Amino acid sequence: MSINPHPTLPEFDYIKPKTIDEACKFLTEHKGEARPLLGGTDIFVRMRDGVWKDKYLVDVKHLDGMNDIKFDPATGLIIGSAVNMNRVIAFQAVKENYQVLAEAAYSCASYQLRTRATIVGNICNASPAGDTIGACLLLGGILNVQGVNGARREPLSSFFLGPGETGLKPGDIVSSIQFPVPPRGMQGKYIKHGRNNLSDLSIVGVTVVGTPDSGVLSGYRIRLALASVAPVPLVVDQVESILSGKAINEEIIAEAASVAMAACNPIDDVRGSARYRKLMVKNLSFKAITAVWDELRK
Amino acid sequence: MAFHKINVSVNGVMEEVVVPSNMTLMRMLRESLALTGTKNGCSAGECGACTVLINGEPVNSCMLLAVECDGAEITTVEGLAHDKQLDPIQEAIIQEGGVQCGFCTPGILISARALLDRNPDPSEDDIREALVGNLCRCTGYVRIVESVKAAARMLAVTS
């Protein structure tokens, strides 16, 4: 691919449908040449680079409910697809109840990019490096999807199929993501390792979410998700079983961190080698689990 | 390619502009309205030289379409000064020597102004975090950070 230092956007038509049904219909009729537009922070980069050549961008940000963010103590949190990351970070109920999501969103790019970037966009883009995806997976996120055949719910746990590949079909529009009420005492941590302290894409990202649970032997249910070290955002289930099976101590955490390292399958790229990534998964998993465990014991 | 007629307020002046679908806000400002204070650095949302305020919030103007701004209020670096009086952040960056080649300066001024609007008394970490999306290739960051601190002090005196 040749690199043009100041590429302009290629030609396309901007479409602004009045209803979500109209948007779905347009996307279905123009399968393969139209794409829903949220913040565009990935779309515009890919189009300028000539990787995506869509004829139509279908703006869906103004559609019903897309701009709403609501928390109900009985049903949980719902974030409309067009709600930008700065709004999510600043939303009081997110700070109080889903702090790990705010932490992950805050690690994305810069303030001015987060004015455009969205959580749902981060998910639909399905980059293995997506910073907020680990938190959304571990918090039990479910996407509300509108398609030509009506509405459906897509749990994130089975949503990611490969880099950039998801369970979405042509014509599908994600209208929001929702999260259940978090269990009492939940703690979370996102550790992002980039080439600088802020704003870069992750070389390795580790999300850990833990809750007190008297139903398991250790008394805690702790789950871990990894970014940038597999073709899809990876939840390592074995970490949960190790940390629930017996009383947690440093040794058990080290064992869980080694299991996380063994479970991932990174590649060499411009940001880091596969070998380095593996080692950092072990180190950062140990650190993140320890941080969550320390909070849980307080 | 489709063209769209949009109405935007730019630095307090209502403008009616006809824009093609693929025109970014940055290009509209620079090419249709000749407001060349907004700079084109990377066209990829990385460098922040094109940062402007939309309805008071900073965005990379290379990362959104002009047509999406219909009805919005936009402030560019040209709109920071009022009645021939520089904004305190502009005064401060001159006073502290926060400008070298100047290419990143318009974006820095806008990001810093937005920071001071949402947090009038920022810590050094707050300032560095707010400016993480504004790259200065002369690497004059220390003086830039000092400029924002000085602007916060000026605002504290006048308010």
Among B140, B124, B74, B82, residue whose Cα is nearest residue A115:
B74
B96 and B62 housed in the same domain: no
Which of B41, B57, B79 marks a domain boundary? B79
Confidence of residue A193 (pLDDT cuts 50, 70, 90): very high
Same domain membership, residue B40 and residue B13: yes
Comparing CB atoms, the residue among A13, A109, A110 nearest residue B21 is A13
- The verdict on a CB contact (< 8 Å) between A11 and B111 is no
Q: What kind and span of H or E run contains B58?
A: strand B57-60
Among residues B23, B47, B79, which one ends one of the domains?
B79
User: Token pair of B29, please?
Assistant: 């400002």
Q: Does A14 touch chain B (CB under 8 A)?
A: yes
Q: SS3 for chain A, per residue?
A: CCCCCCCCCCCCEEECCCCHHHHHHHHHHCCCCEEEECCCCCHHHHHHCCCCCCCEEEECCCCCCCCCEEEECCCEEEEECCCEHHHHHHCHHHHHHCHHHHHHHHCCCCHHHHCCCEHHHHHHHCCCCCCCHHHHHHCCCEEEEEECCEEEEEEHHHCEEECCEECCCCCCEEEEEEECCCCCCCEEEEEEECCCCCCCCCCEEEEEEEEECCCCCCCEEEEEEEECCCCCCEECHHHHHHHHHCCCCHHHHHHHHHHHHHHCCCCCECCECHHHHHHHHHHHHHHHHHHHHHHHHC
3-state secondary structure of B143: helix
Interchain CB contacts (distance < 8 Å): A and B: 87
pLDDT the model gives residue A6: 58
Tell me which of A8, A85, A111 to substitute to probe the interface with B (most B C-beta atoms closer than 10 Å).
A111
Asked if residue B141 and residue B109 are part of one domain, the reply reads yes
Exposure letters A235-251 (e unless 16+ CB within 10 A, then b): bbeebbebbbeeebeee
Question: What is each CA distance from A196 to A193, A199, B112, B145, in whole angstroms?
Answer: 8, 7, 21, 18
- Does B75 lie in the same domain as B12? yes
* Residues from chain B contacting residue A45 (CB–CB below 8 Å): 44-45
Judgement on whether residues B17 and B69 belong to the same structural domain of the protein: yes
Q: Which residues on A lie below 8 Å from B45 (Cβ)?
A: 41, 44-45, 109, 113, 116
Supply the Cα-derived Rg of chain A in whole angstroms: 19
Model confidence over B92-127: pLDDT tens digits?
999 999 999 999 999 999 999 999 999 999 999 999
For chain A, positions 21-50, list CB contacts with chain B under 8 A: 39-41, 44-45, 48
% pLDDT > 70, chain A: 98
CB atoms near residue B91 (< 10 Å): 16
Same domain, B65 and B108: no
Contacts of A114 (CB under 8 A, 6+ apart): A84, A85, A86, A89, A105, A108
Residue A2 has pLDDT above 60, yes or no: no
Q: Domain total for chain B? A: 2
Of B27, B67, B129, the CB nearest to A14: B67
- Nearest-by-Cβ selection for B63 from A14, A41, A199: A41
Q: Which of B62, B79, B96 is the last residue of a domain?
A: B79
- Tell me the whole-structure pTM to 2 decimals: 0.95
pLDDT over 90 percentage in chain A: 94
Q: Is the distance from CB of A100 to CB of A138 less than 8 angstroms? A: yes
- Please report, for the domain that includes residue B58, its CATH number: 3.10.20.30
Interior angle at CA A76, CA A71 and CA A77, nearest 5: 50
Phi, psi of A292 (to 5 degrees): -70, -40
CATH superfamily for A187-297 is CO dehydrogenase flavoprotein, C-terminal domain (3.30.390.50)
What is the overall mean pLDDT for chain B? 97
What topology does CATH give the domain A69-179? Answer: 3.30.465
Does one domain contain both B8 and B56?
yes
- Give me the residues of A, 158-217, that contact B with CB < 8 A: 198-199
Neighboring chain B residues of A48 at a CB cutoff of 8 Å: 43-44
Nearest CA in chain A to B66: A14
Residue A115 has its nearest CB partner, among B57, B62, B65, at B57
Structure confidence at residue B97 (pLDDT) = 96
Is residue A226 within 8 A of residue A138, CB to CB? The reply is: no
Q: What is the pLDDT of residues B9-66, one digit of tens each?
A: 999 999 999 999 999 999 999 999 999 999 999 999 999 999 999 999 999 999 999 9
How far, in Å, CA of B117 to CA of B112, rounded?
A: 9
Between chains, do B132 and A199 touch, taking CB under 8 Å as contact?
yes
Same domain for B107 and B140, yes or no, is: yes
pLDDT of residue A283: 98
The amino acid occupying position A249 is N
Q: Is the distance from CB of B27 to CB of B15 less than 8 angstroms?
A: no
Q: Are residues B68 and B19 in the same domain?
A: yes
Instruction: Decide if A13 and B1 are in contact by the 8 Å CB cutoff.
Output: yes
Residues of chain A in contact with residue B40, where contact means CB-CB under 8 angstroms, are 6
Whether the pLDDT of residue A195 is over 90: the answer is no
Q: Name every residue whose Cβ is closer than 8 Å to that of residue A296 and which is 6 or more positions away in sequence.
A: A185, A187, A210, A211, A212, A220, A222
A13 touches chain B (CB under 8 A): yes
Average pLDDT over residues A40-65: 96
Report the chain A residue with the minimal C-alpha distance to residue B126: A111
Query: Residue B21 and residue A12: Cβ atoms within 8 Å?
Result: yes
Average pLDDT in the A284-297 region?
97
Do B26 and B63 fall within a single domain?
A: yes
Rounded Cα distance between A109 and B113, Å, is: 19
- A198 pLDDT band, cuts 50/70/90, is confident
Q: From CA A275, how far away is CA A183, in angstroms rounded? A: 36
Clarify whether residues B105 and B143 are in a common domain: yes
Q: Which of A12, A13, A112 to mutate to test the interface with B (most CBs of B within 10 A)?
A: A112
The answer to whether domain A13-59 has CATH 3.30.43.10 is: yes
Q: What is the pLDDT of residue A4?
A: 55
* Residue A88 forms contact with B (CB below 8 Å): no
Report how far residue B97's alpha carbon sits from residue A276's, in angstroms, rounded to the nearest whole number: 41
Q: Which residue range(s) make up the domain with B8?
A: 3-79
Length of chain A as a residue count: 298
Between CA A21 and CA A27 the distance in angstroms is: 10
* Alpha-carbon distance B20 to nearest alpha carbon in chain A (angstroms): 8
Pairwise CB contact (< 8 Å): B130 & A48: no
pLDDT confidence tier of residue B159, bands split at 50, 70 and 90: confident
Residue with tokens 């050094």: B124
Assess whether B68 and B101 both reside in one domain.
no
Q: Is A8 on the interface with B (CB under 8 A)?
A: yes
Chain B neighbors of A14, CB-CB under 8 A:
2, 4, 21-22, 65, 67-68
The verdict on a CB contact (< 8 Å) between A48 and B129 is no
| Residues A68-123: tens digit of each pLDDT | 999 999 999 999 999 999 999 999 999 999 999 999 999 999 999 999 999 999 99
Domain residue ranges in chain A = 13-59, 69-179, 187-297
> Residue A198 and residue B22: Cβ atoms within 8 Å?
no
In this prediction, residues A240-258 reach a mean pLDDT of: 97
Position A196 scores a pLDDT of: 83
